[in-house]
């Protein structure tokens, strides 16, 4: 038995390449290309704890605020930054800029990076499993990944889910920049499926109070309330096996 579908009910055709690129550019611009200071500080702390060195790629560098900070540490032999944005005019010469759609394969060789940083990026991308496989491709054996994303398991985000029906960073005001919400279990699975091992989590230990996010749990408690339920962002690290 055949079924006729009226024109009014027909599904819209998939977007063409130009329309898709336009959407991604718009979403990228909505993000502003910059993250908050606690996120940068937490990533820098993890890199120091890992004693990370060698060739570093800032994947989703935005306006390259974090890349510049990492350059100042003099810890890394080379620094590259990738984003859909054009190279910032004031970017220091030692930083290599790769302009590319982060949803796609980067024009970089396999196993060419020792450390990959992705600060507040994965929530902007359409397919976290594909991007995790790209991370794995880019890293050398023994290479490390350090990425951050909104912490959807904080009290603030869980309350928003109960009251509003969405995690706090994934409402209408964050769309279409924030499109992929992930929990720790999702991150563990995605990284493990890509081939990474040893995923571990840390937190920014800065988190807004539900309904009044300009006030933080830390200020209210004398910095005693920290970790999973009281941080707006989570940091995950993992390693590509050496063999």
Q: What is the mean pLDDT of residues 205-227?
A: 97
**Model pLDDT, residue 207:** 98
Better-scored residue on pLDDT, 3 or 109: 109
Beta bridge partners of 54: 76
Quick one: pLDDT at residue 11? 47
Which pLDDT belongs to residue 59? 98
Q: CA–CA separation, 46 vs 147, rounded Å?
A: 10
Residue 14 confidence (pLDDT) above 70:
no
Question: Is the distance from CB of 205 to CB of 151 less than 8 angstroms?
Answer: no
pLDDT of 19 higher than 80 = no
**What pLDDT is stored for residue 34 in this prediction?**
76
How high is the pLDDT of residue 25? 63
Instruction: Look at residue 24 in the predicted model and tell me its pLDDT.
Output: 64
Q: What is the DSSP string of the chain?
A: ------GGGSPPPPP-HHHHHHHHHHHHHHHTT---HHHHHHHHHHHHHTT--EEEEEET-TTTHHHHHHHHHT-EEEEEEEESSPPPTT--TTEEEEE--TTS--SS-TT-EEEEEEET-GGGSS-HHHHHHHHHHHEEEEEEEEEEEE-TTSHHHHHHHHHHSS-GGGSGGGTTT------HHHHHHHHHHHT-EEEEEEE----EETTEEEEEHHHHHTT---SGGG-SEEEEEEE----
Q: How far is CA 124 from the centre of its chain?
A: 7
The residue that leads in pLDDT, 42 or 9, is: 42
Q: What is the pLDDT of residue 124?
A: 95
Band of residue 27 on the pLDDT scale cut at 50, 70, 90: low
pLDDT tens for residues 35-65? 899 999 999 999 999 999 999 999 999 999 9
How many whole angstroms separate alpha carbon 137 and alpha carbon 118? 15
Quick one: pLDDT band at residue 152, thresholds 50, 70, 90? very high
User: 22: pLDDT confidence band, cut at 50, 70 and 90?
Assistant: low
Looking at residue 243, its pLDDT comes to 82
Whether the Cβ atoms of residue 160 and residue 153 lie closer than 8 Å to each other = no
CATH numbers and ranges of domains, the chain: 16-239 (3.40.50.150)
pTM given for the model: 0.88
What's the pLDDT score for residue 7?
Answer: 33
**For residue 4, pLDDT beyond 60:** no
> Rounded to whole angstroms, what are the CA distances from 13 to 8, 19, 84, 195, 197?
13, 12, 25, 35, 40
Mean local confidence (pLDDT), 165-187: 95
- What is d(CA 77, CA 72) in angstroms, rounded to the nearest whole number? 12
| pLDDT of the residue at 35 | 87
Q: Are 119 and 147 in contact (CB under 8 A)?
A: yes
Question: Can you give the pLDDT at residue 181?
Answer: 98
Is cis: bond before 176, omega within 30 of 0?
Answer: yes
């Amino acid at each position: 038995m055949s079924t006729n579908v009226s024109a009014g009910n027909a599904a819209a055709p998939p977007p063409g390449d130009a329309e898709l690129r336009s959407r991604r550019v718009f979403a990228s611009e909505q993000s502003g290309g910059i993250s908050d200071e606690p996120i940068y500080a937490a990533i820098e702390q993890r890199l120091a704890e890992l004693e990370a060195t060698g060739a570093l790629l800032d994947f989703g560098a935005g306006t390259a605020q974090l890349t510049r900070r990492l350059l100042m540490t003099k810890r890394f032999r080379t620094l590259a930054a990738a984003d859909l944005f054009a190279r910032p005019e004031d970017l220091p010469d030692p930083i290599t800029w790769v302009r590319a759609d982060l949803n796609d394969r980067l024009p970089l060789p396999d196993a060419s990076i020792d450390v990959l940083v992705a600060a507040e990026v994965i929530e902007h991308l359409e397919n976290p499993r594909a991007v995790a496989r790209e991370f794995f491709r880019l890293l050398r054996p023994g290479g490390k990944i350090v990425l951050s994303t909104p912490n959807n398991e904080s009290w603030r985000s869980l309350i928003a889910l109960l009251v509003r029906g969405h995690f706090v960073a994934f409402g209408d005001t964050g769309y279409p920049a924030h499109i992929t919400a992930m929990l720790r279990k999702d991150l563990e699975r995605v990284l493990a499926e890509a081939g990474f091992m040893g995923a571990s989590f840390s937190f920014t230990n800065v988190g807004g109070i539900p309904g009044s996010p300009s006030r933080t749990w830390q200020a209210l408690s004398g910095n005693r309330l920290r970790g999973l339920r009281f941080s707006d962002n989570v940091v995950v690290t993992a390693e590509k096996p050496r063999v």
